[in-house]
A = this chain, B = another copy of it.
Amino acid sequence: MSDKPNPINETDDEARALARSLVDTTRYAALAVNEGDTGFPLVSRVAVSYGSDTGLFFCASDLSTHSQCLATDPRCSLLLGEPGKGDGLAHPRVTLVGSVDRIENSDPQRQSMRDIFLERHPKANLYVDFADFAFYRLLVDRALLNGGFGKAFHLDATDLEFLREWTKFG
Give the size category of A's interface with B: 35 or more
Report how far A50 CA is from B45 CA in the complex, Å: 21
Closest chain B residue, CB of each to CB of A64: B7
Q: Which of A7, A41, A78, A88 has the most CB of B within 10 A?
A: A41
Tallying the copies of this chain within the complex gives 2
**Residues on A facing B (Cβ under 8 Å):** 1, 4-5, 7, 27-28, 30-34, 39-45, 47, 61-65, 68, 75-79, 81-83, 86-90, 93, 95, 97, 121, 123, 127, 132, 141, 144, 146, 149
Known contacts A7-B63, A63-B5, A68-B1; A43 and B79 CB within 8 A of each other: yes
Closest chain B residue, CB of each to CB of A90: B123
Q: Is the CB of B34 within 8 A of A83?
A: no
State the Cβ distance, A94 to closest chain B Cβ, in Å.
10
For A40, list chain B residues within 8 Å (CB): 75-77, 97, 141
Residue in B62, B83, B132, B144 whose beta carbon sits within 8 Å of that of A44 in the complex: B144
